[in-house]
Structure 1
Amino acid sequence: MIADKLFKRGFSSPLLLCVSEQEDKGILEEVHEGACGNHIRARALAGKILRAGFYWPNLHEDAARYVRCCDKCQYHAPGEPLKFVLSPWPFFMWGVDIVGPFPIGAKQARWIIVVVDYFIKWVEAKPFASEKVIEFCRGKGIQNTFVSVEHPQANGQAESANKVILRALKRRRGALHHGIWFRRYDPSGNKSNKLVQRNVDN
């Protein structure tokens, strides 16, 4: 007990605030589909809530139930399992793809370049101007391997990241049509933790 609030000591995290049944539904909704929510799957949803500093006894079961009942998640769920491409060590193999065009957003960006490390699955997605990317690759001596358009098997990891990014944008009503996709979405998702804490505390 700290300041009349119950906390649980986490295994690898700081103290977790124990929340009531009335509060847990609001936290699930905010993290899953709130201002920075990406409609993530149940395991990631529960982990994100724990990293935000919240806990309740049936957190994992409640997260799974919430995701199962989310209409947008069910509508945009993938139709078949993805195939894995193995990489022997980090930075050995990268997947690079371009997503777009989108309505013009801030800084006149219409396209997103998605870069994925096949070993650690780290995703970087940045709006870009194509001339700068070509100059950068030439200047760094990067050899590009081009794959066929509409052939996701040739660049599977980047295509997988594209699906996640596009699914998150589709689930956010109006984000693509109003050009706000550029400034609202962060592929790492770290901003939502602060927003959840601020919303629940107020």
Structure 2
Amino acid sequence: MEINDLFPEEQFFAISNSEVPWFADITNFLAANIIPKGLTHQQKKRFFNDVKNYFWDDLFLFHRCADQVIRRCVTGSEISKIVEHCHSGPTEGHYNGTKTTHKILESGFYWPSLFKDAIRYVTLCDKCQWTGNISKHDEMPQNYMLSCEIFDVWDIDFMGPFPSSFGNKYILVVVDYMSKWVEAQALPTNDARVVVRFLKKLFSRFETPRAIISDRGTHFCNS
């Protein structure tokens, strides 16, 4: 039969135009024990030192990273899709370059220029460039959180006036900031004298606090 030479030519053409992965030398050494040619003594020494962190397992190459997590090595054709998915995918939030890199590592992928490719992709992302950086104008106002222990800080205020009940028209309420413990007493007036009398009873039970927070009304101003 006449030999059909189209099939070999097509195969050679496909091989010549296919992308050579960055880990081709490492794969050849681990799978077939083939040492790359043309390497100097220093390059061979570095190659054998780097290849210790790679593993070949059934058509996939894995790399043990600095955090001792084994991740799959990917080729150049997969890199753009992985970065796009981890940065602007349906479940992602257009993070910066560092956060996008962490998302890629959490997904279990690795290649040598991972950090540079992620930062380059973020700088070329149109949506990220339109958003820009967060300025002081965009920040939410934050209230100071007072750090204290139980019964160290009390909040005090009057409630009322209410309709007279047994001669009492006001309720003096104090609340502990930490435990939310509430102390209350019905009083006939809301002057500083009854406040001092109430606080003496409070201090004898819970000791003297570090601070008492009030609205600085006249009934809380007393030497």
TM-score by length of 2: 0.36
- Larger CA Rg, structure 1 vs 2: 2
Structure with the larger RCO, 1 or 2 (CA within 8 Å, 6+ apart): 1
Using the size of structure 1 for normalisation, the TM-score is 0.40
